[in-house]
Structure 1
Amino acid sequence: MGGSYGRTDRPLSASLAARVIGDQFPQLRGLEVRPFGAGWDYELFTVGGGRIFRFPKRARARAVAPARDRDDADRGRRARADGARFDWVGQPGDWFPYPFNGYRMMPGAAADQAPLTDPGGLAADLGRMLGRLHRIDPALSPPTPDDWEHEPGAEITAELVDVADSVRPLLAGDLLARAAPYLAGDVPAPPAAGPASGLWPQAGRPGWPGRTRSAA
């Protein structure tokens, strides 16, 4: 996976993750635990090479996790995309204060690790899947705890600045120009629809080469 994004209020090492997992799932005790990657809300560790355990990085991510897990499964079904099925559900404990979960690794290679022999084909596949995903009515999603998505966006703005150097090379032309103020922290809060929101329908068109010079 890519780099670690988003702040954490509970740093987690591989040895601590192994202790947390082993305490709650004795059948996994003694298996090698290694860092796998991190996203905005979660840190991930492999367990025994064939399992991934996912730990919330902060209290807000933990509050959203149960609804997000249900929502992810529903969106995956609607987008006709395979997704993880949680086989282990951990509870808060002395060593880690938030619920966490684990699932068996899906076969294949992550898109950022697989040989890129057909960039246009990969982009078209991703575009079609994301297009289906973004056509799902947001009203079908459950409300988030404490209605947090309507809070001021200062935290999101700060996190965008933190990852700006990783994001800029991924954007081209007009998309980069439109995103620049947000990546520089010059805008108080990001818009409801980000600069890349118009990209997916274009990416799903046959023959799209995998990059764009315009968001239109």
Structure 2
Amino acid sequence: MDGYAIDESLVRSLLRDQHPDLATLPIREVPGGWDNQLWRLGNELAVRMPRTQRAPSLLRKEQQWLPLLAPRLPLPVPCPMRVGEPSERFPFPWTVVAWVPGEPSDHAPIDRSTHAAERLAGFLRALHQPAPADAPANAPRGAQLIAVDGEFEKLFRAVVPTGHATAEVRASWENSVAAPTWDGPAVWLHADLHPANAVVADGTLAGVIDFGDLCAGDPATDLSAAWLLLPSAGLPAVLDAYDPADPAMIRRARGWALLRSLALIDIGRAGDRGLPGGKPTWGPAGRAALARVLAST
């Protein structure tokens, strides 16, 4: 956040003030993150510190909802363990979460595709339960694809001329937008299942992190992870294991995957635009996902 240098000294002082039993544990910064800066705390915990204007509200959302959802999820997630409240030292909320072992999949790609497909499908089935009326809103994630057509056009103009066949990309998008819309109940969504938020260990999916975009809506939003995370060989397995992945849902999910692959490519080349952390690994992940989308259209 502007005006606040988030360093080990600040993190330790906040722990000493609010959670003194944790203040003597080893602390080290973990590279990466977007809205939040991550600090490893001992062997089993991490501290998430907000560094963008929207981050405090995202942390509050996780603090409220993730403890209710985590017990039913079959993969490790960074469940909030302690809450850090605003103070004179740092006037924003922060949180202590469970550490999820492994590496983000933009650094350690999945190579056990069938195993990872089964894990991803199981995670999505467990998460995608009808959400309550007071579930957080996060438009346009979870909404109809037409709601993000303007975003697609912007990314299409910025990214596609760099080498991908424009006609193929356009046709794939139009096919997805034309798919029948979701007419079931709004279900819980992670809503940001891209490679940096999927944790890999031993070549397979081992955890899911960063639930700040948690919301309710069309499950196809999250099913897009099949193209974003898995090698091509894993795509049929996850679509078979996720039920119901009907043809309309698959078309919509492929559209979300197309949009996000373009966004990954765009962010991966945007290191000079002041985006937090720098994301050189996102471009290759986005290009690989885009190739998988076009091959399956």
* TM-score of the two chains, using structure 2 as the length reference: 0.44
State which of 58, 66, 73 in structure 1 corresponds to 2:60.
Answer: 66
1:100 aligns with: 94
CA contact (8 A) 2:66 2:80 kept: no
Aligned pair partner of 2:14 in 13, 20, 27: 20
AA of the residue aligned to 1:140:
P
Greater mean alpha carbon deviation, residues 21-30 or residues 77-86: 77-86
1:109-137 deviation digits (Å, cap 9, x = unpaired): 3454779552342244224423543x333
- Secondary structure of residue in 2 paired with 1:93: coil
Partner of 1:140: 132
Aligned partner of 1:58: which letter? Answer: T
Runs of 4+ in 1 over 6 A off after TM superposition: 192-196
Structure 2 gaps, min length 5: 141-146, 163-167, 174-216, 227-234, 242-288
Any idea what the Cα deviations from partners look like across 1:142-166, whole Å, max 9, x if unmatched? Answer: 354xx7747xx9xxx7xx98xx99x
1:212/1:124 CA distance change after superposition, 3 Å: farther
Aligned to 2:47: 53
User: Using a 3 Å threshold, how does the CA distance of structure 1 residues 91 and 75 change in structure 2: closer, same or farther?
Assistant: same
1:121 aligns with 2:115: yes
- The SS at the match of 1:22 is helix
Paired amino acid for 1:20: L
Residue identity opposite 1:62 in structure 2: P
Report the residue type matching 1:204 in the other structure. V
One of 193, 204, 208 as aligned partner of 2:238:
204
Structure 1 position 197, deviation (Å): 5.2
Residue in 2 aligned with 1:5?
Answer: none
Q: Please give the per-residue CA displacement for 1:166-210, whole angstroms capped at 9, x wherever unaligned.
A: xx9xxxx859x85xxxxxxxxxxxxx9898754548561469xx9
Distance 1:213 1:120 in 2: 21
RMSD: 4.5
The answer to whether the Cα contact below 8 Å between 1:78 and 1:136 also exists between their aligned partners in 2 is no
Q: How many angstroms apart in 2 are the aligned matches of 1:212 and 1:65?
A: 32
| CA distance in 2 between partners of 1:110 and 1:54 (Å) | 17
**AA matched with 1:109:** G
Q: Alignment identity in percent?
A: 20
Distance 1:142 1:38 in 2: 31
Residues 74 and 122, structure 2, Cα contact 8 Å, conserved in 1:
no
Q: TM-score, normalised by structure 1?
A: 0.56
How far residue 53 of structure 1 moved from its aligned partner, in angstroms, is 1.1
Aligned residues: 176
Q: Distance in 1 between matches of 2:133 and 2:33?
A: 21
Runs of at least 5 residues in structure 1 that lack an aligned partner in the other structure = 1-7, 179-191
1:115 and 1:197 mapped to 2: Cα distance?
18
